Homo-oligomer: A and B are copies of this chain.
């Protein structure tokens, strides 16, 4: 019997694998067989020598990881990278970002998404959860460039009922293939309780998850308590949002009193942490990852938008999460490199609702795989591979990025996007995009 031809075989690498106890391990000198966009098997290099394949990738000296997942971003905001620096949160929103965003066109969003996808593919990110405007344009870029994405059309209550309706219409129309969708209210401080309640009902009715900002920082938690008598998490509880599958961005203002609400939520709750921006805005706290883990909530890694984070580098989020968790808990033993890799892989997949499809390299999972080169002087010698990956390697050590079995970057060359063309057109459009002389803004920040 002739064996059937595999689509792709990756040979000679060390593979990061998961067990069912939330642990990771590394299998050396392994091979990964990919067929029809999925992992068919992870086996020994010797087992695939005679197996025919359309394409073979020799990954000797490299480590195969599940593709990284950016669990909360606003991809098109790469266009505004560096435009609002060294500012407190309120000035960042009200004086720069929200005035500029009132100029946004669908073409700006498309170009921004294209540049963002290029950056993410080069950084080993294979999937991102995006929360922005003109999301049809983002969806089209995702379709074209080959990434996976979890998309939501953001809305404020100030947009009237049309905002929520547009978010629903987008979510229903776009869920297929590599794209999953969510309802995307902006946050409890910009969306009314009535609109959040209606969102929760729509989520249940249509089987959709919700992705929103909540308790982003301590100020928001305190303002909510003062104004409504409950924290933002309390608002999510009383509006029924916690009974949906909800992805909460940031949550650095989550208080101890919020934990029982999250633990007892009727839906699957997860949190995305993007620690770089919290440092940059000088917020007093970071996401309480340890407390969230103790009640079983997955914490995915994220970058937020590049206008605050300055990059979409999830690898950096992984390292910073390990470092900042040690620092803020005062415990050098907490959030080990292996735990950081678990956050970056399975927990991030769970956070974007894809815990059974991606996030690990195992038979039946989609073949979202990155190959990382550890032969550089900064990653040698290797005494502890997890530590080398988290604390010594960088995103630029990713040589190859694969989504659904398709190679999107080979030897650091992007195969589906043209960066120079995108940057050229974006630069031409910049004067119109940056103009703030109109005095408008899309929304007011006041927690």
Residues of chain A whose beta carbon lies under 8 Å from any beta carbon of chain B: 78-83, 85-89, 115-116, 118-119, 122-123, 276, 278-284, 306, 310-313, 322-324, 326-327, 329-333, 336-337, 375-378, 380-384, 387-388, 391-392, 394-397, 419-420, 422-423, 426-427, 430, 434
**From B323, B378, B381, contact of A279 by CB (8 A):** B323
Known A-B contacts A284-B330, A333-B87; the reply to A311 vs B115 at CB < 8 A is: no
**From B115, B312, B378, B426, contact of A312 by CB (8 A):** B378
Report copies per complex: 2
Known A-B contacts A281-B332, A377-B419, A387-B310; the reply to A82 vs B382 at CB < 8 A is: yes
If over half of A's interface residues share one DSSP class (helix, strand or loop), that class is named, otherwise mixed; here it is: helix
List B contacts of A123 (CB < 8 A). Answer: 378
| Residue among A283, A310, A326 facing the most chain B CB atoms (10 A cut-off) | A310
List B contacts of A281 (CB < 8 A). Answer: 326, 332
Query: In the complex, what distance in Å separates the CA atom of A313 from the CA atom of B312?
Result: 20
Determine if B419 and A85 form an interchain contact, defined as CB atoms under 8 angstroms apart: no
Closest chain B CB from A303 CB (angstroms):
11
Known A-B contacts A332-B87, A388-B82; the reply to A426 vs B381 at CB < 8 A is: yes
Closest to A284 in B: B330
Determine if B327 and A85 form an interchain contact, defined as CB atoms under 8 angstroms apart: no
List B contacts of A337 (CB < 8 A). Answer: 85-86
List B contacts of A420 (CB < 8 A). Answer: 375
Determine if B280 and A82 form an interchain contact, defined as CB atoms under 8 angstroms apart: no
**From B276, B323, B333, contact of A276 by CB (8 A):** B323
8 A-B residue pairs with CB within 8 Å: A81-B380, A82-B382, A86-B333, A279-B326, A312-B378, A380-B419, A381-B427, A394-B395
Determine if B333 and A82 form an interchain contact, defined as CB atoms under 8 angstroms apart: no
Closest to A92 in B: B332
Closest to A121 in B: B377
Closest chain B CB from A389 CB (angstroms):
10
List B contacts of A332 (CB < 8 A). Answer: 86-89, 280-282
Query: In the complex, what distance in Å separates the CA atom of A282 from the CA atom of B334?
Result: 10
Determine if B311 and A80 form an interchain contact, defined as CB atoms under 8 angstroms apart: no
Query: In the complex, what distance in Å separates the CA atom of A382 from the CA atom of B384?
Result: 37
Determine if B376 and A122 form an interchain contact, defined as CB atoms under 8 angstroms apart: yes
Q: List the 8 closest pairs (A to B, CB-CB), nearest first.
A: A310-B391, A118-B377, A396-B396, A279-B323, A82-B384, A119-B377, A82-B387, A82-B383
List B contacts of A313 (CB < 8 A). Answer: 378
List B contacts of A82 (CB < 8 A). Answer: 381-384, 387-388, 391-392
List B contacts of A88 (CB < 8 A). Answer: 332-333
Query: In the complex, what distance in Å separates the CA atom of A397 from the CA atom of B88?
Result: 29
List B contacts of A377 (CB < 8 A). Answer: 78, 115-116, 118-119, 122, 419, 422-423
Known A-B contacts A85-B387, A122-B378; the reply to A282 vs B329 at CB < 8 A is: yes
Determine if B311 and A378 form an interchain contact, defined as CB atoms under 8 angstroms apart: yes
List B contacts of A122 (CB < 8 A). Answer: 376-378
Closest chain B CB from A6 CB (angstroms):
31
List B contacts of A78 (CB < 8 A). Answer: 377, 380
**From B327, B396, B427, contact of A394 by CB (8 A):** B396
Closest chain B CB from A409 CB (angstroms):
11
List B contacts of A375 (CB < 8 A). Answer: 419-420, 423
Query: In the complex, what distance in Å separates the CA atom of A397 from the CA atom of B283?
Result: 29
Closest to A122 in B: B377
Closest to A312 in B: B378
Determine if A381 and B79 form an interchain contact, defined as CB atoms under 8 angstroms apart: yes
